[in-house]
Amino acid sequence: MKVNFEDTLYDVRFHKSHRGTRRKRVVDTACVLSIVDPTKKGSDKYELFTKTISKHNHMDKYSKVTGKRLALAKAIMPLKRDARVAFFKAFDAEFANCK
């Protein structure tokens, strides 16, 4: 997912990781937020801004969108309110059809 806010392009990626508890396997969601520099090429154009993890409780029902939303909320916490609103608008547009 790409978000452009105040002439800064951000790249948001979500990754799943599986872990086992005593009761069952759970899925955690990581959010990697990077700033994109369009003047560079390849992997050098991504500068890591932050990485957060949303841990799934084994008692809760798994939801892809909820885990991503929580991980994103943690990642954009240091940004100002206008930026957070822009990120969540892009998130809602990207994942509107997911359950």
Predicted TM-score (pTM) of this structure: 0.86
Would the pLDDT of 22 be above 90? Answer: no
Q: What is the mean pLDDT of the chain?
A: 89
Dist. CA 43–CA 48, nearest whole Å: 11
For the stretch 51-88, pLDDT in tens is: 999 988 878 887 889 999 999 999 999 999 999 999 99
User: Are the beta carbons of 75 and 51 closer than 8 angstroms?
Assistant: yes
DSSP per residue, 18-75: EEE-SS-EEEEEEEEEEEE-TTS-GGGGEEEEEEEEEPPPTTSPP-HHHHHHHHHHHH
For the stretch 43-60, pLDDT in tens is: 889 999 999 999 888 788
Dist. CA 98–CA 14, nearest whole Å: 14
Name the percent of the chain lying above pLDDT 70.
Answer: 98
Residue 12, H or E segment: strand 8-20
Confidence at 99, pLDDT banded by 50, 70, 90: low
